[in-house]
Amino acid sequence: MLDKLAEVEKRYVELESLMSDPQLLNQQREYSKFAKERAELEEIVACFREWRKVEQEIQGNRQLLEENDEGIRELAKEELVTLRQRKEALESQLKLLILPKDPNDNKNVILEIRAGTGGEEAALFAGELFRMYSRYAESRGWRVEMMSSNPTGLGGFKEIIASIEGQGAYSRLKFESGVHRVQRVPVTEGSGRIHTSAVTVAVMPEADEVEIQIDPKDIRVDVFRSSGPGGQSVNTTDSAVRITHVPSGIVVSCQDEKSQHKNRAKGMKILRARLLEKKQEEQRSEIAATRKLMVGSGDRSERIRTYNFHQGRLTDHRINLTIYQLDRIMEGQIDEVVEGLITHYQAEALKATGKPPDDNGKPDDDND
Residue 165 burial by CB count (10 A; 0-12/13-18/19+): exposed, middle or buried? middle
Non-local (6+) Cβ contacts of 254 within 8 A are: 147, 148, 240, 241, 243, 263, 264, 266, 267, 270
Instruction: Report the distance separating Cα 207 and Cα 202, nearest Å.
Output: 15
Q: Which residue, 75, 98, 121, sits at the end of a domain?
A: 98
Domain identity same for 176 and 247: yes
Residue 363 lies in a domain: no
Residue 115 contacts residue 159 (beta carbons within 8 Å): yes
Domain co-membership, 94 together with 114: no
Same-domain pairing of 8 and 140: no
Q: Is 330 left (phi over 0), alpha (psi -120 to 50) or beta?
A: alpha
Strand order in the sheet with 195-205: 143-151, 157-165, 109-115, 195-205, 178-184, 305-308, 313-316, 321-323
Domain region containing 58? 2-98
Q: What is the pTM of this model?
A: 0.65
pLDDT for the residue numbered 293: 44
Q: Are residues 260 and 126 in the same domain?
A: yes
Q: What is the pLDDT along the chain (368 residues), one digit of tens a residue?
A: 788 888 889 999 999 888 888 888 788 888 888 888 888 889 889 999 999 999 999 999 888 888 888 888 889 889 999 999 999 999 888 887 887 778 888 889 999 999 998 889 999 999 999 999 999 999 999 999 998 889 988 889 999 999 999 988 999 999 999 999 999 988 666 667 888 999 999 999 887 755 677 888 888 988 887 765 544 445 556 788 898 998 888 998 888 787 888 888 888 888 888 888 888 777 655 434 334 444 454 444 468 999 999 999 999 999 999 999 999 999 999 999 999 998 888 888 777 765 443 433 333 433 33
Based on the fold, state whether residues 195 and 335 are members of the same structural domain: yes
**84 neighbors 62 (Cβ within 8 angstroms):** no
In a domain, residue 362? The reply is no
CATH of the domain at 177: 3.30.70.1660
Q: Which of 45, 69, 98 is where one domain is finished?
A: 98
Domain match, 75 and 168 both: no
End-to-end CA distance of the chain: 14
- Measure Cα distances from 353 to 95, 103, 288 in Å: 10, 18, 21
pLDDT at 284: 57
Residue 247 maps to a domain: yes
357 occurs within a structural domain: no
174: nearest Cα among 147, 146, 206, 149? 206
Kind and range of the H or E run holding 250? strand 250-254
360 falls within a domain: no
Contact 276, 245 (CB under 8 A): no
Predicted confidence at residue 237, as pLDDT, reads 62
- Asked if residue 149 and residue 47 are part of one domain, the reply reads no
**Whole-angstrom distance, CA of residue 298 vs CA of residue 296:** 6
Task: Examine the domain organization and report whether 33 and 129 are in the same domain.
Answer: no
